[in-house]
Amino acid sequence: MSEPTTSPAARFTLDSAFDVGSVNPRLYGSFVEHMGRCVYTGIYEPGHPAADADGLRQDVLELVRELGVTTVRYPGGNFVSGYRWEDSVGPREERPTRLDLAWKSTETNEFGLGEFMEFCGKTGMEPMMAVNLGTRGVEDAVRLLEYANHPGGTELSDRRIAHGGKEPYGIRMWCLGNEMDGPWQTGHKTPEEYGRLAAETARAMRQVDPGLELVACGSSSSSMPTFASWESTVLQETYDLVDYVSLHAYYEEIDGDRDSFLASAVDMEHFIESVVATCDHVRARLKADKRINLSFDEWNVWYQQRPNPHAVEEWQQAPRILEDVYTVTDAVVFGSLLIALLRHADRVTSASLAQLVNVIAPIMTEPGGAAWRQTTFYPFAQASAYGRGRVLRVEVDSPTYTTARFGEVPLLHATAVIDDETGDITVFTVNRSQTDALPLRVDLRGVDAHTVVEHLVLADGDPEAVNTADRPDRVTPRPATGTAVTDGVLHAELEPLSWNMIRLTNRPA
C-alpha cells in the first residue's frame, strides 16, 4: 500500500457565541423492531448463558449501555403496520403465534410490550412507541395508550396491572404509524388519507393525555415521488396536533462509487433542510406560532442492493435478515451522518439509529454465543458520551474533491459541541479523502478550551476491515499523535478515510 500524501489544511473557527442549538439527548436514540434477529437471539434469548431471569441477554444490555442509547423506538418499522399489541401482553403461554407480513416471519409474541418495558428499565432508555395505522386506527391506538399509561381503574389499565405492570409505563413519545407513504407498507395511504387518520388518532390520544409528544410520518426517503408534498399535506391536517415529523434515510455504496458514498451526509443535510423548510412553509400558511421539530427516526448505512445470503423463502421465526457487516469506510460515513444530525440540532431534536442489534446494527450476536461491537458502534458511543451540550456553528474552509452524485464536496465534515458547565469542547470530524491525510487548523479565539484531552481516530490501512465474532476487536478507535494547541490554534492531522473525536478543555492537564 502506498504512503498517504497530505492535502492543504482545512480550517474553521470556534466561538462560543455562535450557537446552533442545544443537543437534545434524544438525538442518541435507537430502534428495536420485531424483525430478523433484533429481538429474538438479539436482546432476548432465554437459555443463553448470559440471559437474566427475564430472558434478556446481559452481554447485550451492557453493550447497549456502553453505546449510550437514550431512547428506543418500538416495535417497528414495517412490522408495526400489522401489529396487534394485545397479542403481545399477558401470560406467555396464551400469546398467539401470527404471520408477520412485513418480513415474512412468524411472530410468537414471546417478547412483548411488558418485556420491552423491562428492557428499557434495565438499560435506562426512554421508550418511543409506534401505533399501527396500517391495518388499525384510532380505537386501537387509544386502547394501547390506556393499557400502557392509565394508572388503573379501567379494564385495560387493570389488565396491565394484572400482567405485572403495577405502575403505568408513562410512555411520552408516540409515532403515528410508520412509513405510510411507502407502497410496501401494509395499509399504505395517500397523504390525504394518512393526514386525516393521523390527525384523528392524535386528537383522541391527546384526549387521554394532552402531554404526549406525537410524531407524524414524513417521507420514507427524500427520493420518494411524493416527498415534500407528502409532508405539506400531512402537516396541513395535523399541525396543531403533532410535535414532530419523521425522516428516514439509508445510505450505501452503489456501483463502487465510494467518493459519493463518503459524501452521503450532503444528501442528509439537504433532506433535513428541505423538511425544515416544508414545516416552516406550513407554519406560515397556517399563521401558526408553534414550530414542528424533526424526528430522524430511521438512519444508517444499509446495503439494500446486496443480495441477502440467507434469503427468506419459508415463513420462519427470526430469520437472518439485514445482518450487514460494517467496514471502516461504513463507520466513517456513519460518523459523518452523526455530524449532519448534530449540525442541525436546533430542529432535529429526536433521532433513532436503525436498528440496535443484529439488523443493520452496531451490536451483533450469535445465538448461544458472543456479542460484539461493529465498527459503527464507536462513532455513536463517542458522540453520545461527549456530544452533549450546545452545538457551535462550524463554517468549514476545506479543500474539496469531486463526486459523481454531489459535485464538489469539502474533504472535511465537522461539528463541535460545548459543555456549558465545564466549557469543554468536543470536535467531531471526518476526512473524506481515501488517499490523503488532511491537516486541520481550528482557531480557538472565541472559546476558552486550549488543552487537548485526547484525539481518538477510527481509521485503518484496510478500509474494508470489519469486526467479527472471531475478531471482535479488529477495528477499534486509537489515540492519534501530534494533536496540539499552539498560539490559540488547534493543529491536528486527520488520517485518510477517518472519523475523529478531539476533546479540548480549559482545565490544566
Catalytic residues: 179, 298
Query: How many other C-beta atoms lie within 10 A of the C-beta of residue 251?
Result: 24
128 strand-pairing partners: 73, 173
Asked if 100 is part of the footprint of ligand AHR (rule: CB under 6 A), the reply reads: no
149 near ligand AHR (CB under 6 A): no
Instruction: Report the C-alpha dihedral over residues 363, 294, 11, 495, rounded to 10 degrees.
Output: 10
Smaller CB distance to ligand AHR: residue 116 or 386? 116
Nearer Cβ to ligand AHR (43/492): 43
Q: How many residues bind ligand AHR (CB under 6 A)?
A: 10
Specify the amino acid at residue 472.
Answer: P
Q: At its nearest, how many Å lie between ligand AHR and the CB of residue 33?
A: 5
Q: Does 362 help bind ligand AHR (rule: CB under 6 A)?
A: no
Please identify, using beta-carbon distances, which residue of 107 and 298 lies nearer to ligand AHR.
Answer: 298
DSSP sequence for 208-269: H-TT-EEEE---S-TTSTTTTHHHHHHHHHHTTT-SEEEEEEEE---TT-HHHHHTHHHHHH
Q: What is the three-class DSSP state of 337? A: helix
Choice from 7, 20, 33, 191 touching ligand AHR (CB under 6 A): 33
CB of 448 to ligand AHR, least distance (A): 42
**Residue 387 in grid coordinates:** 456530544
Nearer to ligand AHR, 315 or 420 (CB): 315
Contacts of ligand AHR in 37-76 (CB under 6 A): 76
Residue 370's Cβ-side half-sphere holds a number of Cα atoms within 13 Å equal to 10
Residue among 88, 178, 201, 293 that touches ligand AHR (CB under 6 A): 178
Q: Which of 13, 30, 41, 78 binds ligand AHR (CB under 6 A)?
A: 78
User: Closest-CB residue for ligand AHR?
Assistant: 77
Encoded amino acid at 237, one letter: E
Which residues, 211 to 240, sit near ligand AHR by CB under 6 A?
A: 220
Contact between 436 and ligand AHR (CB under 6 A)?
Answer: no
Q: In the 8-state DSSP scheme, what is residue 100?
A: E
- Min. distance of Cβ 178 from ligand AHR in angstroms? 5
Minimum gap (Å) between residue 340 Cβ and ligand AHR = 18
Q: Which is nearer to ligand AHR, 251 or 401 (CB)?
A: 251
Beta-bridge partner residues of 479: 456
Q: Is residue 443 classed exposed, middle or buried when 0-12, 13-18 and 19+ CB atoms within 10 A define those classes? A: middle
Residues of this chain, 129-148, that bind ligand AHR according to CB under 6 A: none
Kindly tell me which residue out of 29, 55, 77, 165 binds ligand AHR, with binding defined by CB under 6 A: 77
Q: How far apart are CA 220 and CA 181, in angstroms?
A: 7
Q: What angle separates helix 328-343 from helix 377-386, to the nearest 10 degrees?
A: 30
Smallest distance from ligand AHR to CB 141, Å: 18
Shortest approach of ligand AHR to residue 354 CB, angstroms?
4
Which amino acid makes up residue 216?
A
Whole-angstrom distance, CA of residue 34 vs CA of residue 113:
11
Site for ligand AHR in 476-495 (CB under 6 A): none
Shortest distance, position 299 Cβ to ligand AHR, whole Å: 10
Residue selected from 179, 181, 436, 493 as contacting ligand AHR according to rule CB under 6 A: 179
Please report, as a single letter, which amino acid is at residue 499.
Answer: W
**Which cell numbers in the block locate residue 306?**
446486496
298 binds ligand AHR (CB under 6 A): yes
Establish if 354 lies at the interface with ligand AHR (CB under 6 A).
yes
Among 15, 27, 24, smallest CA distance to 395 is for 15
Residue 107 binds ligand AHR, judged by CB under 6 A: no
Query: Judged by CB, which is closer to ligand AHR: 223, or 435?
Result: 223
Strands 5-6 and 407-410, bridge-based pairing:
unpaired
392 SS3 class: strand
Distance separating alpha carbons of residues 237 and 201, to the nearest angstrom: 12
The grid coordinates listed for 4 are 498517504
Among 132, 246, 355, 505, binds ligand AHR (CB under 6 A): 355
CA distance 17 to 23: 16
| Closer residue to ligand AHR in complex, CB, 353/430 | 353
Phi/psi zone of residue 88: left (φ > 0), alpha (ψ -120 to 50 degrees), beta?
Answer: alpha
- Whichever of 40 and 239 has its CB closer to ligand AHR, that residue is 40
Smallest separation, CB 134 to ligand AHR (Å): 11
* Minimum distance, C-beta of residue 365 to ligand AHR, in the bound complex (Å): 17
CA–CA dist 190, 194 (Å, integer) = 6
Closer by beta carbon to ligand AHR, 100 or else 436: 100
User: Which residues pair with residue 443 across a beta bridge?
Assistant: 13, 489
Reading the block at residue 415, the C-alpha cell is 461539528
Residues that bind ligand AHR (CB under 6 A): 33, 76-78, 178-179, 220, 298, 354-355
